Structure 1
Amino acid sequence: MTTSATTDRPATPTDAGHVDVLIVGAGVSGIGVAHHLREAFPDRSFAILEAQDARGGTWWTHQFPGARSDSDLFTYGYRHKPWRGPSIAAGGAILEYLDEVIQEDDLADKIHYRHRVTAADFSSAEHRWTVDVVREDTGEELRYTTDFLWMCSGYYKHDEPYTPEWPGMDRFRGPIVHPQSWPKDLDYAGKKVVVIGSGATAATVVPNTAKTAAHVTMVQRSPSYWFAAPTVHELAATLEPLDLPAEWTHEILRRQYIQQLDWLATTGKDDPDQLHEFLIEGIRPLLPEGTDIEKHFTPTYRPWQQRIAFVPDGDMFERMREGKVSIVTDTIEEFTERGVRLGSGEELEADVIVTATGFRLSAFADVPFRVDEEAVDFRTKVTWRGLMISDVPNMAYAFGYFRHSWTLRVDLVADVVERIMRHMDESGLHTVTPKLRPTDADMPLRPWSDLDNFNPGYVQRSQDRMFGQGDREPWLHMHEHDVDRVELPKADIEDGLTYS
């Protein structure tokens, strides 16, 4: 991620006013931290800027057939608000949940849609950020000022999905679509569909399009790990007749899922062979007889080195047993008029091709940042505990987990930022800036993500564009939840932070 380029300022932007806190992004992160602000600082003013047409972030962007969570909603839901539905939920249900939070916290008039941030400048003399915005619907240029900037824009480009360039793509006679920009009028009923990719998105697109398509073929360069999770946890079914308060059920299931995710993450690191066997044997009885498990379902990486594709109630495998879905493990040589030609020479015919090929990472929404007129090159910076950036004052960011539910970390991050804000209020301080200590002068700058720990394509493609981390606290991130939930609540908010 490089945001060092300068941006020409509009000559006469419209003054949009000043707020104590400016939140960028109205997805699960932005709405979540807005709740924390409402609760902890009811007298503090804030606004939320959202570039898209509506709330929801990823759940507004992804409107492909069957879009659903691949994390359970008892941990993906907020700590403060019980989830009352099934463990795995469709995107529409998640949006309804977010709407309830917006209504309960009276956030509707705080969210400004179609407001894209184009630049952010911090002035040490004024102790504040100047944030330039363009309205996507009118082109009007606005200027906000704020004491504290909180980036909650997610981690990928919503309007620019990642699609590799294959030879002959212009020759294919049918539509080529990416799930991130799915056309509402796409007709695939009774047609042959080829889906390229085998990650979490493909695990949703494939079984759902197969309901009406003539046939769906999933083409994967290499296999992924899969897990057939029940839509309704068996513990939830046990608790239902007890008529417990929703808060109790939420907390019990939340703890149960956290325990399961901790086991997966720990076992994947400490005993990958055991987890490999657990995952493979879990899907073996669900696959059609004669399936080549070694070829199609045995990855080259260890379990949890990439996300596991969760399959609610095994719907993917059910479609395979019905003969509606098939899997091909091969490379793509080129697109043809009728489909795709594989490395083996085989041609797969298709009426529609879906490129479920991943994201383009975009931390901080690719906004150009400046501090005292000097452009910030995030590639030279390190993270402070995965929630602030070295030498960037009064700015926090919400970044969740890749293995656990994203929202679990958003709540923990908000708790730390709340402690920092209270400390500043009580001490009459205006700025907080992560600064390397004298003992960190020779600290090596390590990559944003350790590829031996987590190495999906979208992370590998972004390594040279992202901020880094050090080799010691508090300059580390990418911890698992079992570490963060202990360490973040007791994090020393003066260690590595300079106040003035």
Structure 2
Amino acid sequence: MTMEYPPTELPTFQNLGVTDAPAVADVDAPAVAQEWLTSLASALEAKDAAAAASLFVEGAYWRDLLAFTWDLRTFRGPRAIKAFLSDTLGQAQPKSFTLTPGTAAAQAPFPDILWLIALFTLETASGPTTGVLRLVPTPDGSWKAHGVLTSLEGLAGRPERIGPLREQSEQPAYHEQPTLENANPTVLIVGGGHSGLDVAARLRANGVDSLVLEKNARVGDNWRGRYESLVLHDPVWYDHLPYLPFPPTWPVHTRAAKLGDWLEFYANALDLDVLTGTTVVRAQHNESAGNWTVTARRNADGKERTFTIKHLILAVGLGEGWSKIPEYKGLSNFGGKVLHSYKHRTAEDYKGKKVLVIGACTAAHDISAECVRKGLDVTMYQRSPTYVLTVKTVKEAFMAGLYEEGGPPTEVSDLLGASFPFPMQGELGERSVLHFAELDKDTLSGLAKVGFRTNKGYMDRGILWSLLEAGGGYYIDTGASQMVIDGKIKLKSGPPAKPLAGGEGVKLSHFTRDAAVFDDGSEIKADVVIFATGLGSVHDAVKQICDPKTAARVKKIWNLDAEGEINGVFRDGDVEGLYVMMGNLAVCRLYSKYVGLQIAAKEAGVYGKPYRVGKA
């Protein structure tokens, strides 16, 4: 079918002024990519920023991950690219540009867009760098760049201790876990979930000693302690950890408890230093000394130890542990059980009871579906529209070509994905969401018929934008949507809405001793009320862990800055030596690399001057 797309700044033929674009099969991708890369290399090696910028179309992006800027930056348009290169070429000294064989390919992601992608390598003063180029046709028949990514992959002269550089001893020493008393780390990592372990693994591979402080009794308990029915909705190919992918026998979707066991195995297999059952009491930043004083307490006996370190990494999640429960009149007088979804473990606890789940995103659907499978009477109250797409569409369309069986190596897929700056991913999302809705039309129309309200995600940009800018608001359907359609999960929402429509629903007014009462006068009897209403903010963790003065200096964490990079994460911005690791498994897998490289470079004395926002 012909799709009508919204206005866009994507490199469409219309926006490029191209009236006679070649067919994909007619493009000699390797030759075109090589010619363009040769021109870029000549300009950059001559430190001619103007010549390099002339190789880009209007609206083009250059995204740099440490290689030129020692920061995570996105520059848009030839003018901004020229300024960035003028300011950084002297420090970066790029050379030895080589097109990666077998990677150049022409693609037509939409009927009105054609681009050519290829990978390349180069050397910068910082270290070996991988690049991704994305070229588009121009009216005169030549090709120019609409996107370039440069990603620092290691430090010059200091490669990761992997492969041929791994431990070679025929009698390797047994790795003994440190104790609170004898640990002497260079870096402290607060949190032993996937984000903390990822960055610990990166640091170890770069020769930097770190210590992970995990408050739970075992690594992985943050996943084992979630509700029993929790299964990762992302497929296995998307969720590998650095250096140690899941085995080929691993199921496509992972149960939470199984992931917890894998994280514990991962920490042991990679010889990561982890102190479990240990809570950080307070972290004091000493601005004049450029270090941190961190006090940790062993939960078992209350013994405390103070560490003095230069680098502190907070890997405490997106707000886990700080649950949000809205205030409703009469809730304190409700006679049944009230809890947040974060505290829910199993529907077995509610046998014979009526359950009201407040919320309509991932946790709400998962818990409601579990209640149905346990034979319980459950009602879901939808407060606002939800972006819904099926797990089938996620696997077969959203992640197709990158994270799938037989797809590219994970490291390559990560770079290809990162080569699309977040603002561009948002624009692509405006189009993709329409295709996904067509694929999921049966589910969406079925939901609309029973009054479940859906939308296109935050700013009509789908799931990624909902995560980046709203922190949620979506559900990847693994079966609960059909339960809603069939009436097995009862629904309280607004009047029937068109697929992807918004609109206000019926609002919850107050609680009585045994019911939730709505503003239309209706009520739902309940014995258990579960609030699946989201979690707190990582700022809550910063305030709890850091001294007040330091916490006040931490401005924004998450959401996008003016350039389209994520605020306050994966680099020390507001406070020197403070890093925040957060995101899903794929995000942390990639960006832990850059946190590890920044700290390793500082420890080796080779960290360059960051080219910060506001400089360009």
Distance 1:277 1:258, change over 3 A: farther
71-80 or 263-272, which moves further after superposition? 263-272
1:89 Cα deviation (Å)?
Answer: 1.8
Q: 1:193 to 1:80 in 2, by over 3 A?
A: same
2:341–2:363 CA contact under 8 A, matched in 1: yes
Q: Residue 397 of structure 1: which of 546, 566, 580 is its match?
A: 580
Greater CA drift, 70-79 or 381-390? 381-390
Q: CA deviation at 1:134?
A: 2.6
Compute the displacement of 1:387 (Å): 2.2
* Separation of aligned partners in 2, 1:104 and 1:15: 23
Q: Which runs of 4+ in 1 moved over 6 A?
A: 253-268, 381-385
Give me the TM-score of the superposition, normalised by structure 1: 0.68
Looking at structure 2, the residues matched to 289 and 248 of structure 1 have their Cα atoms a distance apart, in angstroms, of 31
The equivalent of 1:3 in structure 2 is none
Aligned to 2:442: 285
Superposition deviation, residue 275 in structure 1 = 4.3
Q: Partners in 1 of 2:452 and 2:443 — Cα distance?
A: 16
**Secondary structure of the equivalent of 1:377?**
helix
Deviations 1:412-468 (A, max 9, x none): 333223333443344388xx997xxxxxxxxxxxxxxxxxxxxxxxxxxxxxxxxxx
Report what 2:193 is aligned to: 27
Which of 160, 169, 178 is 2:340 aligned to? 178
Q: Does the alignment pair 1:355 with 2:531?
A: yes
| In structure 2, C-alpha distance between the alignment counterparts of 1:185 and 1:213, rounded to whole Å | 9
Shift in CA distance, 251/52, structure 1 to aligned 2, threshold 3 Å? farther
Whole-Å separation in 2 of the counterparts to 1:350 and 1:27 = 35
Q: Structure 1, unaligned stretches of length 5 or more?
A: 1-13, 240-246, 401-405, 435-472, 477-494
Give, in angstroms, the shift of residue 32 of structure 1.
0.8
Partner of 2:263: 98
**What SS does the aligned partner of 1:176 have?**
strand
- CA deviation after TM superposition for structure 1 residue 356, in Å: 0.4
Q: In the alignment, is the contact (CA less than 8 A) between 2:457 and 2:473 conserved in 1? A: no
Question: CA, structure 1 residues 257+88, in 2 after alignment: closer, same or farther (shift >3 Å)?
Answer: farther
Q: Which residue matches 1:36?
A: 202
Distance in 1 (alpha carbons) for counterparts of 2:347 and 2:293 = 41
Q: 1:297 aligns with which of 443, 454, 472?
A: 454
Q: Once the two structures are superposed, what CA deviation does each residue of 1:20-41 show, in whole Å capped at 9, x if it has no partner?
A: 1211110001111111122221
1:154 equivalenced with 2:324 (yes/no): no
Contact 1:198–1:219 (8 Å) recurs in 2: yes
Give, as a single letter, the amino acid of the residue that structure 2 aligns with 1:343.
D
Q: After superposition, where does 1:5-404 map in structure 2 within 5 Å?
A: 17-41=183-207, 44-56=208-220, 58-61=222-225, 63-83=226-246, 84=248, 85-107=250-272, 110-123=273-286, 127-158=290-321, 160-182=322-344, 187-230=349-392, 233=395, 249=406, 251=408, 269-270=426-427, 274-286=431-443, 291-292=448-449, 296-298=453-455, 301=458, 302-304=460-462, 305-306=465-466, 307=472, 309-312=474-477, 314-329=478-493, 330-363=506-539, 364-369=541-546, 375-379=550-554, 386-390=569-573, 392-400=575-583
Q: 2:203·2:600 contact (CA, 8 Å) conserved in 1?
A: no
CA shift for structure 1 position 197? 0.3
- Structure 1 residue 399: Cα displacement: 2.9
Q: Structure 1 pair 53/231, CA: closer, same or farther in 2 (3 Å)?
A: farther
1:221 positional shift: 1.2
Structure 2-normalised TM-score?
Answer: 0.56
Give distance in 2, aligned partners of 1:260 and 1:350: 45
Deviation by residue 1:131-162 (Cα, 9 ceiling, x = unmatched): 0123333333321222322221223141x311
Higher relative contact order (CA 8 A, sep 6+): 1
Cα distance in 1 for partners of 2:394, 2:318 equals 29
User: Over aligned residue pairs, what C-alpha RMSD do you find?
Assistant: 4.1
C-alpha distance 184-149 of structure 1, shift in aligned 2 (>3 A): same
- Once residues 456 and 507 of structure 2 are traced to their aligned partners in structure 1, the CA distance between those partners, rounded to angstroms, is 15
- 2:593 is equivalent to residue 418 of structure 1: no
AA aligned opposite 1:474: R
Query: Is the contact made by 2:281 and 2:296 (CA closer than 8 Å) also made in structure 1?
Result: yes
Distance, in Å, in 1 between the alignment partners of 2:264 and 2:372 is 31
How many residues end up aligned between the 2 structures?
403
- Contact 1:74 / 1:254 at 8 angstroms: preserved in 2? no
Tell me the residue number matched to 1:457. Answer: none
Unaligned runs of at least 5 residues, structure 2:
1-179, 467-471, 494-505, 558-565
Letter of the 1:227 counterpart: L
CA distances 1:88-112 after superposition (whole Å, capped 9, x unpaired): 32201211221231121123xx222
Equivalent residues of 1:188, 1:213 under 8 A apart: no
CA contact (8 A) 1:129 1:146 kept: yes
